[in-house]
Amino acid sequence: MKTITVHVSRPYDIHIESGILARAGEYIKDTMGACRVMIVTDDTVRALYGDTLSRSLHSAGLDTAEFVIPHGEASKNTTSLIALLNALAENAFTRTDIVCALGGGVVGDLAGFAAAVYLRGIRYVGIPTTVLSCVDSSVGGKTAVDLAAGKNLAGAFHHPSLVLCDPDTLQTLTPEVRADGFAEVIKYAVIGDAVLFDMLSNPDTMDMATVIARCIAQKARIVEEDETDHGVRKHLNFGHTAGHAIELRSNFSLMHGHGVAIGMRIATEYAIRRGICPAQVLPALSKLLTQYDLPTETEYAVDDLYEAATHDKKREGGHIDVVLPTGIGGCMLQRIPVAELPDFLRGGRS
């Protein structure tokens, strides 16, 4: 088993191991003590893994209740949040009880936010079941729901008390959802882990638990250094300036990771044009993205992307921070004037 301790204000462990889902009850009982567990999940994940989790919790002597949302981003809203808070109250959950998120980032964000505000904060456990939620949402403490005006507009920083990643659960992902998460994995490799980049290039010998652990370890180091998202944490936005713009321009028909994949290529091309990054990084990155069924090109006009990017919340004054690779396994933050953005955005085309 691989364990990573995240040293934030209240440190917690992330355990990564095949088959850990079936033993979740023991781990939760050992870490949290006697408690009642509100399992929050979506219909798809419930059908696949709900019984395994409930059985494990019951064998450990833990009492459970369940809150199930329809799968998909549309469920990450204030209606689900209020319904979940009411379910906690109706089941008389107290401050010693816990919320357990079984599912992808949608379930994790909703359950984490409910845990952050119910009784002014109760503990929660994450059991992420998508590549994205394992490597991205399980560290950092960001929780949120969407508002009509945009994604993640209402939320809180609330760290989990325990995270259990079972790589076996990733085997049932659709190819698209799996690929989407791998965009973030490739991001970690480019910005800070050349060894991971090599591992990803050899998928036949790659061990998924090791891949997840390396991503989590990197994000943990970054979050420990910058818990409130003002400095080095911005490195995690590699590929996200152009990626968000493409996602927005597609009206979210393009999945987040797919936009980030193209965004990483765009940022890399800019870095190469500026002499910050060696030219051979581009073919290596494009090859890896293609290998993981991710796109590397956009057909949207630079003007359209510029329009979308300047609506981005990361814009500060007349400048924007972009993350540029300096090679495979290294990156830097660069502040560019907004007037420079069209030039930044002009890559990603054949």
Ligand X SMILES: NC(=O)c1ccc[n+]([C@@H]2O[C@H](COP(=O)([O-])OP(=O)(O)OC[C@H]3O[C@@H](n4cnc5c(N)ncnc54)[C@H](O)[C@@H]3O)[C@@H](O)[C@H]2O)c1
Residues that bind ligand X (CB under 6 A): 42, 44-45, 48, 71-73, 76, 103-107, 109, 129-130, 132-133, 136-137, 140, 142, 151-152, 169-170, 172-173, 177, 180
Nearer to ligand X, 12 or 270 (CB): 12
Nearer to ligand X, 72 or 342 (CB): 72
Determine contact, residues 97/38, Cβ cutoff 8 Å.
yes
Determine contact, residues 70/79, Cβ cutoff 8 Å.
no
**d(Cα 122, Cα 160) in Å, to the nearest integer?**
10
φ/ψ of residue 322, rounded to 5: -120, 150
Nearer to ligand X, 160 or 325 (CB): 160
CB of 250 to ligand X, least distance (A): 15
One-letter amino acid at 348 equals G
CB of 45 to ligand X, least distance (A): 5
Nearer to ligand X, 78 or 326 (CB): 78
Nearer to ligand X, 31 or 152 (CB): 152
One-letter amino acid at 342 equals P
CB of 189 to ligand X, least distance (A): 17
CB of 20 to ligand X, least distance (A): 13
DSSP secondary structure code for residue 22 in this structure: G
Nearer to ligand X, 48 or 338 (CB): 48
Radius of gyration of the chain (CA): 20
- Burial of 233 (C-beta count, 10 Å sphere; 0-12/13-18/19+): middle
One DSSP character per residue, 311-347 reads TSTT-BTTEEEEEEEEETTEEEEEEEEGGGHHHHTT-
φ/ψ of residue 162, rounded to 5: -165, 140
CB of 317 to ligand X, least distance (A): 26
What separation, in Å, do the N-terminal and C-terminal C-alpha atoms of the chain show? 44
One-letter amino acid at 316 equals E
Q: And the tokens for 158?
A: 């609330």
**d(Cα 310, Cα 127) in Å, to the nearest integer?**
35
CB of 202 to ligand X, least distance (A): 24
Q: For ligand X, which residue has the nearest CB?
A: 105
Nearer to ligand X, 253 or 350 (CB): 253
Nearer to ligand X, 145 or 322 (CB): 145
CB of 243 to ligand X, least distance (A): 12
Q: Are strands 142-147 and 98-103 parallel, antiparallel or unpaired?
A: unpaired
CB of 267 to ligand X, least distance (A): 18
**Residue 143: closest CA among 130, 153, 132:** 153
